[in-house]
Each structure stands twice: as C-alpha cells, then as structure tokens.
C-alpha cells in the first residue's frame, strides 16, 4: 500500500516531500490517516484530494494533528477530504472490526503481534485482556482458539460498545466477554485468581498494573504479555533495555521472561516492546 501511495503522490510532490509523508501513513479500512509535516501544510488538501481521486480503497482522509494522548489513548484528527466519517470496517487475520478512528484507539501496526500471541494460546485458557480497545487482540485470539474464554476490559465506553458489536460480527459471543470499566477495579472486584494468561496492551502505564495482572492469575501462576516503551539507540539495545525494564516491573514475583519482541520504533530512540513473562 505504501508503495502505491508513493507512486500516486510522486506526480504531485518533490521526492524528499513524499518520502517524509509516506513513512507516516496509517490505512484503516477506507480511512487514511496521514501525519503532514509543518513544511507541507500548504499542500495538505492537495495530498488528501489526490489520495481520494487515485486510490480506490481510500474514501476518507484525515490529518493527524496530535500525538496519542489521554486515558483513552486518542489522537486528534483533522478531516481533509472524502466522506466525513470516522467509522470504518477493518479486516485482519480473517476477522472483521468496526472501528471509530476518532473516539477509540486503534492501530493496524500491531497486526503481527496479535497473530503471534494468538499462536501461543493452549486449549481451554482463561484470558484477561486488561486494555482491550474495540476487541482486536481478544477477537483474533478467540478466532484461532475457540476453546478459550477472554474477558475484554476497556474504560472507554465507545470502545466497549464497538467491542460488543465486533464480538457479534465475528460470532464469538460465547468466547469473548466485554467489560466496561477500569481494569484495576474490575479485576479486583470480579476477576481475581481466575486467569491462565493476561494481556497488558497499554505500554505507557502497564507497569502500574502489574500487581493487578498477577492477582488475576489462578494460583498467582501463568503468562503475562507485558507491553512497555523503552529508550534505546537501536533495536538490539531496545531488546536489552526491554529485559531490564520487564525484570524491574516483575521483580516482586518469581518469573521467567520467555521472549521479548521489539514491536516498532514509536519515536526517535523510543521503542515499543512486548515481553512474554511467565509467573512461576
């Protein structure tokens, strides 16, 4: 897709301009979200209109005007061209998701990680997804592991409603249980000591939730997928720093780090990692 966008924009922009632009595209269903650098802001309408005219799949173009922020991890978007809607349908790993790109967090960039974790699940697992968003991890895991049961918590009411719809769309009503609320409260009040595995896909503050995650495991033993951000000069050191960060976060508990994945660079010398931690 990026290649196609480059080709389309080549005719309208200087080489240096479109190189910069194409590295910061997200295509979610029919919606393109582009980070337009300040230097190109006079051309943002031209860029957006070109995408609508020339790339069939794109029906709406937004410019991203803020980083991802707030409790619900949202980004401010400016509508630039096409249909003025934030709702789209996104397909990933044979699952279908209704997504609201303004009022919920959603990133297609975690696709590989979603499939990787899906493949680690054993039969009959009880899983808690502490920060489920519109249900992406939960639904993909459930699609590939029909004997698992997944409690899917999110504090954003819009994400919760879409998670419910996505469970219906993917016919996983028996397997995925949506819960609206704060993960700490919901686990403490209802889900202590029941899980075989916990997902913590909120890298900014996951560390604050480690005790809660472990308290949800049956007999305080099981697997935790711990997401974090680490500073590093390159991918290799990101892995080393990820091991250090994870060891510190789980220092209270007997644990083994079975794997660390460096998911992506989220800023200059700033990486997202996922650690597969086994509490023993």
Binding to ligand SAM by residue 71, rule CB under 6 A? yes
Which range touches ligand SAM (CB under 6 A), out of 43-51, 70-78, 231-239, 258-266? 70-78
**35: closest CA among 9, 73, 1, 67?**
67
The residue within the footprint of ligand SAM, chosen from 29, 63, 82, 201 (CB under 6 A), is 201
CB 195 within 8 A of CB 130: no
DSSP class of residue 234 equals: S
* 132 scored as a contact of ligand SAM (CB under 6 A): yes
Rounded to whole angstroms, what are the CA distances from 245 to 93, 203, 228?
31, 12, 8
Residue number, 73 or 255, with CB nearest to ligand SAM: 73
**Nearest distance from C-beta of residue 39 to ligand SAM, angstroms:** 29
In the complex, what is the shortest distance from the CB of residue 179 to ligand SAM, in angstroms, rounded to a whole number? 9
The secondary structure of residue 201, as a DSSP letter, is -
Q: Between residues 52 and 108, which has the closer beta carbon with respect to ligand SAM?
A: 108
Instruction: Establish if 156 lies at the interface with ligand SAM (CB under 6 A).
Output: yes
For residues 4 and 86, which CB has a smaller minimum distance to ligand SAM in the complex?
86
Q: Which residue, judged by CB position, is nearest to ligand SAM in the bound state?
A: 133
Q: Which residues pair with 265 in a beta bridge?
A: 271
CA distance 260 to 238: 10
Q: Are the C-beta atoms of residues 27 and 99 closer than 8 Å to each other?
A: no
Q: What angle do CA 148, 226, 165 make, to 5 degrees?
A: 45
Q: Is 106 in the site for ligand SAM (CB under 6 A)?
A: yes
In the complex, the smallest distance separating the C-beta of residue 155 from ligand SAM, rounded to whole angstroms, is 4
**Within 220-279, which residues bind ligand SAM (CB under 6 A)?**
none
Through-space distance between the first and last CA atoms of the chain, rounded to whole angstroms: 43
How many CB atoms within 10 Å of residue 127?
A: 27
Q: Which is nearer to ligand SAM, 137 or 226 (CB)?
A: 137
Q: Would you call 45 helix, strand, or coil by DSSP?
A: helix
- By the rule CB under 6 A, 98 interacts with ligand SAM: no
Choosing from 9, 28, 159, 279, the residue that interacts with ligand SAM (CB under 6 A) is 159
Interface pick for ligand SAM out of 133, 178, 222, 242 (rule CB under 6 A): 133
Alpha helices, DSSP H, located in the chain: 2-10, 15-22, 44-54, 111-118, 136-144, 157-169, 183-190, 210-215, 235-249
Contacts with ligand SAM, residue ranges (CB under 6 A): 71-73, 105-106, 110, 131-133, 136-137, 153-156, 159, 182-183, 201-202
């Amino acid at each position: 897709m990026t290649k196609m966008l480059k080709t389309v924009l080549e005719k309208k922009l200087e080489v240096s301009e479109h190189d910069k632009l194409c590295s910061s595209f997200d295509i979610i269903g029919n919606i393109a979200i582009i980070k337009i650098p300040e230097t190109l802001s006079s051309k943002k309408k031209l860029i957006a209109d070109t995408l609508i005219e020339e790339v069939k799949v794109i029906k709406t173009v937004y410019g991203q005007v803020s980083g991802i922020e707030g409790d619900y991890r949202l980004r401010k978007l400016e509508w630039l061209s096409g249909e003025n809607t934030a709702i789209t349908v996104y397909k990933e790993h044979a699952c279908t998701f209704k997504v609201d790109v303004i009022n919920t967090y959603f990133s297609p960039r975690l696709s590989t990680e979603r499939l990787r974790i899906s493949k680690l699940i054993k039969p009959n697992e009880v899983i808690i997804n502490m920060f489920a968003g519109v249900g992406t991890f939960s639904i993909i895991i459930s699609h590939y592991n029909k004997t698992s049961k997944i409690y899917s918590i999110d504090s954003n009411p819009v994400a919760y409603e879409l998670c419910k719809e996505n469970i219906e769309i993917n016919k996983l009503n028996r397997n995925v249980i949506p819960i609206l609320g704060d993960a700490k409260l919901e686990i403490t009040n209802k889900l202590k000591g029941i899980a075989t595995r916990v997902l913590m896909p909120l890298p900014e503050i996951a560390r604050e939730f480690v005790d809660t995650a472990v308290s949800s495991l049956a007999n305080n033993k099981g697997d935790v997928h711990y997401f974090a951000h680490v500073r590093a000069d390159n991918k290799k050191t990101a892995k080393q720093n990820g091991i250090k960060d994870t060891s510190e976060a789980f220092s209270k508990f007997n644990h083994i780090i079975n794997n660390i994945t460096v998911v992506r660079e989220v800023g200059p010398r700033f990486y997202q990692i996922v650690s597969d931690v086994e509490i023993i």
